Amino acid sequence: MNKTEKIPTLKPSDMTSFHSHTIDWQPVISNTKHQYFHVNRLENFVDKMTFPLPPHRKTICDFLYIKKGNSQRSKGLSNYEFGESSVFFLPAYQITQHQKISHDCEGFFCHFDEKIFQFLPKNYLHENYIFFQFQSSPIINISPETQKHIESILERLLLIYEDDQELNKNIIASYLLVLFEELKKEIPNQSKKTKNAFFQVTEQYKIALSQHIYQKQSITEYAHLLNISPNYLNKCVKNCTDKTAQDLLNEMLILEAKTLLKYSNYQIAEIAVNLCNQTPSNFSRFFKSQTGICPKEYVELY
> What pLDDT does residue 191 have?
52
> What pLDDT does residue 31 have?
60
What's the one-letter identity of residue 234? N
197-207 residue pLDDT tens: 898 899 899 98
The CB density around residue 16, as the number of other CB atoms within 10 Å, is 14
The fold adopted by the segment(s) 9-185 is Jelly Rolls (2.60.120)
The closest of 180, 145, 175, 170 to 157, measured between CA atoms, is 175
| Separation CA 248–CA 269 (nearest Å) | 23
Query: What mean pLDDT do residues 19-32 have?
Result: 52
The answer to whether 93 touches 44, Cβ cutoff 8 Å, is no
| Separation CA 72–CA 250 (nearest Å) | 28
- Give the lowest-confidence range in 3-7, 55-59, 64-68, 297-301: 3-7
| Separation CA 83–CA 66 (nearest Å) | 6
pTM exceeding 0.85: no
Percent of the chain with pLDDT over 90: 67
The answer to whether 84 touches 67, Cβ cutoff 8 Å, is yes
> What pLDDT does residue 291 have?
96
> In which region does residue 7 sit, left (phi positive, over 0), alpha (psi from -120 to 50) or beta (all else)?
beta
240-275 residue pLDDT tens: 899 999 999 999 999 999 989 988 888 999 999 989
**What average pLDDT does the chain have?**
89
> What pLDDT does residue 13 have?
82
Confidence tier at 100 by pLDDT (50, 70, 90): very high
What's the one-letter identity of residue 297? E
The closest of 228, 224, 214, 233 to 275, measured between CA atoms, is 214
Query: What mean pLDDT do residues 86-96 have?
Result: 95
Kindly report, as residue ranges, where domains of CATH 1.10.10.60 are found in the chain.
Answer: 197-300
Query: What mean pLDDT do residues 229-234 have?
Result: 97
| Separation CA 40–CA 200 (nearest Å) | 33
The answer to whether 38 touches 29, Cβ cutoff 8 Å, is yes
Tell me the CATH architecture of domain 197-300. Answer: Orthogonal Bundle (1.10)
Q: What are the phi and psi torsion angles at 35 (to 5°)?
A: -70, -20
Kindly report, as residue ranges, where domains of CATH 2.60.120.280 are found in the chain.
Answer: 9-185
